[in-house]
């Protein structure tokens, strides 16, 4: 049973597509959710979750894997966008500018579990505040299913402001598919907050288009 009214949300997505001017690139469809009566100064009221969407958002979601040996080979075979070794981490660790570039370019990080202490020490000061610390996996893990899942996932994060902003699709996707992706975000939020009570406003928009307000219930 969907958390939101799929038809109403799909209609709002259609309106956002209609209002956005054509661009010479494929625009993302963005979801903005403003919360109310949630004190984000309290750590227990914040959220940093990965949401697996039912429909891949047709957006290049880049994944960096930090691993050695067999796991590194598996990650390359599974389509990881970048594979770093222990030596790479040690070399990059002294260059905060390069680590910041990695944090900006890659949506998700996956790491061999026994490398996490090193990664935490060298990359943690950059990745931690951005909510992008790696997902640890054992050296024998089959990473292919994890990477496939992450390729159709988004991160929802509330830290300093009671607001969620995330990509839920692209303009060439079917609007109803995007609505089901939005529903997946609300389903995760409903585990943490009272939905719809804690929801003040919901908007959908294209990257360069105006925001369209939607009552998703």
Domain 63-150, architecture per CATH: 3-Layer(aba) Sandwich (3.40)
- At residue 57, the pLDDT reads 87
- At residue 8, the pLDDT reads 97
Domain limits, the chain: 6-58+152-213, 63-150
- At residue 10, the pLDDT reads 98
Listed in sequence order, the DSSP H helices in 41-85 are 69-77
- At residue 141, the pLDDT reads 95
- At residue 146, the pLDDT reads 97
* Domain 6-58+152-213 bears CATH identifier 3.30.190.20: yes
- At residue 118, the pLDDT reads 97
- At residue 112, the pLDDT reads 98
Residues 130 and 133: their CA atoms lie apart, in Å, by: 8
Residues of the chain with pLDDT under 50: none
- At residue 5, the pLDDT reads 97
What are the beta bridge partners of residue 50? 155
- At residue 60, the pLDDT reads 80
- At residue 52, the pLDDT reads 97
- At residue 114, the pLDDT reads 97
Give the distance from CA 24 to its chain's centroid: 24
> In the β-sheet with 108-112, what is the strand arrangement from edge to edge?
82-84, 63-66, 108-112, 135-137
- At residue 110, the pLDDT reads 98
Q: pTM above the 0.85 mark?
A: yes
């Amino acid at each position: 049973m969907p958390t939101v009214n799929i038809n109403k949300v799909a209609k709002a997505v259609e309106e956002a597509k209609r209002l956005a001017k054509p661009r010479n690139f494929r625009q993302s469809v963005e979801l903005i959710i403003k919360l109310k009566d949630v004190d984000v100064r309290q750590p227990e009221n914040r959220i940093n979750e990965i949401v697996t969407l039912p429909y891949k958002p047709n957006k290049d979601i880049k994944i960096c894997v930090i691993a050695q040996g067999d796991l590194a080979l598996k990650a390359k075979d599974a389509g990881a966008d970048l594979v770093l070794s222990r030596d790479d981490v040690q070399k990059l660790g002294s260059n905060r500018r390069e680590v910041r570039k990695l944090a900006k370019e890659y949506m998700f990080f996956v790491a061999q579990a026994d490398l996490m202490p090193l990664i935490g020490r060298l990359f943690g000061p950059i990745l931690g505040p951005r909510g992008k610390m790696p997902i640890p996996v054992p050296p024998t893990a089959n990473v292919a299913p994890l990477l496939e899942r992450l390729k159709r996932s988004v991160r929802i994060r509330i830290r300093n402001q009671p607001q969620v902003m995330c990509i839920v699709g692209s303009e060439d996707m079917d609007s109803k598919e995007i609505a089901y992706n939005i529903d997946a975000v609300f389903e995760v939020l409903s585990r943490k907050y009272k939905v719809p009570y804690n929801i003040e406003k919901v908007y959908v928009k294209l990257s360069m288009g105006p925001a369209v307000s939607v009552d998703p219930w």
